[in-house]
A and B are shown apart, each in its own frame.
Chain A
Amino acid sequence: MHELSIAMSIAEIVEEEARKAGASRIEIVTIEIGTLSGVMIDALQFAMEEVMLTTSFSGAKINYDIVTAVASCEECCNEFVAEDLFKVCPVCNSSKTYYIRGKELKIKSIEVERDN
């Protein structure tokens, strides 16, 4: 829903971290996104392409690591892939479940070159 804002936050953090690291060039940015993070991955990719044009890393490669959402059932302890926010346990049909992963929205790493 906020893909453009998210893309701009990514650009800001990447440039800040690259500065801190004394990087001369940013080669690869790896982003980790959970399938239920609230961000549409296609829309984020589109927004990143636009946002990157205004940054110092317009030629960098962006890797999107997609984290499939997994939930655990409080009733039967079953772990299962959660397709949506309703995350009903396929074994016991309970909706008393919680996420183990799938909400991630972070910059995992950047690969940079340094002048020295």
Chain B
Amino acid sequence: MCGTCGCGEENKITYRKAGEKEKLNLEHAHSHSHGNEEYTHDHHHGHLHDHFHEHDHNHATGHATIIPLERNILSKNDLLAERNRGFFEGRNIKAYNLVSSPGSGKTSILERTIREKGTELNCFVIEGDQQTMNDANRIKAAGAPAIQINTGTGCHLDASMVYNAVKALDVSSDSILFIENVGNLVCPSMFDLGESKRVVIISVTEGDDKPAKYPDMFQSSHLCLINKIDLLPYVDFSVENAKETALRVNHHLEFIELSAKTGEGMDKWYQWLANIKTS
């Protein structure tokens, strides 16, 4: 398995539009190479060390050169993310990267959003999961075009996957693109997808210390949706504690409390979406 993206030769990332039988044959546009064709690894293990190894360079002649690189280790992803971002800005597409732990209600929030505002907002959805078409099918049933990325063993979406998915989905101008990331509060925080805004979702059935346990994600997000507030009377979740902790990590973070089930608070979410500019 390739550790950079979680892909493996036998475990390829797949793309399939909701409602279509065939997987799309998209080029695996990751820019890193697999293997090291250029350099061979020719250690000779097991031979007796009864001879001198030839040392064919001379340190004293000063061939050593320091090459300053100052290159960000995630630069390839970041560059492709900026390319996505430019495309979104040029077409006036508002792109939102939705991140959370599994089960917080990301898909339910999107379903309700599409049912209630789909036509007005012109929504498109990229769904990221390790396996299954379930979420893309749910979104399509709600009324928006959706493409499913199955990352196989990968724990996050990256900019190249979004690049491929956006091309296949043919996202139109003046629209909203929701990118539902793989349910994981850790790994996706380091990978810019080119989104306009990052939205982190927690639900009241989780601990209110999530922002303390996984601060990176809250630090890099713009909006925090607190979902399932209809269940507040039955759980020990303190909205105030959660907000206070999250604000200590990121004092610019905005909050909206809502319930995708009852619809409470959804109007504030729609208002927030309407106020965002792409650039």
Interface residues of A (CB under 8 A from B): 1-2, 4-10, 12-13, 15, 17, 19, 21, 23-25, 27, 31, 38, 53-56, 58, 84-86, 88, 95-97, 105-114, 116
Contact = CB atoms under 8 A, between A and B. Distances in A.
B216 A85 contact: yes
A108 B38 CA distance: 23
B68 A111 contact: no
A17 to B, nearest CB: 6
Given A17-B69, A109-B66, 15 more contacts: A5-B3, A15-B38, A21-B65, A21-B67, A54-B36, A56-B36, A84-B215, A106-B73, A107-B69, A108-B68, A109-B68, A111-B66, A111-B67, A113-B63, A116-B63
A55 B41 CA distance: 7
Contacts of B3: 4-5, 7-8
Given A85-B216, A105-B72, A110 B190 contact: no
A96 B251 CA distance: 6
B276 interface: no
A56 B69 contact: no
Contact of B4 (A9, A86, A116): A9
A20 B66 CA distance: 13
A114 B36 contact: no
Interface of B: 2-5, 32-33, 36, 38-39, 41, 57, 63-76, 186-187, 189-190, 215-216, 219, 247-249, 251
Contact of B32 (A8, A23, A54, A109): A8
A112 B71 contact: no
A17 B70 CA distance: 11
Contacts, number: 107
Contacts of A108: 68-70
Q: Is the interface of A mostly helix, strand, loop or mixed?
A: mixed
A2 B74 CA distance: 11
B190 A2 contact: yes
Contacts of A84: 215
Contacts of A109: 66-70
Contact of A55 (B36, B57, B64, B66): B36
7 contacts: A1-B186, A1-B190, A12-B4, A21-B67, A55-B39, A106-B75, A110-B69
B215 A1 contact: no
A110 B216 contact: no
B67 to A, nearest CB: 5
A64 B26 CA distance: 38
A74 B41 CA distance: 52
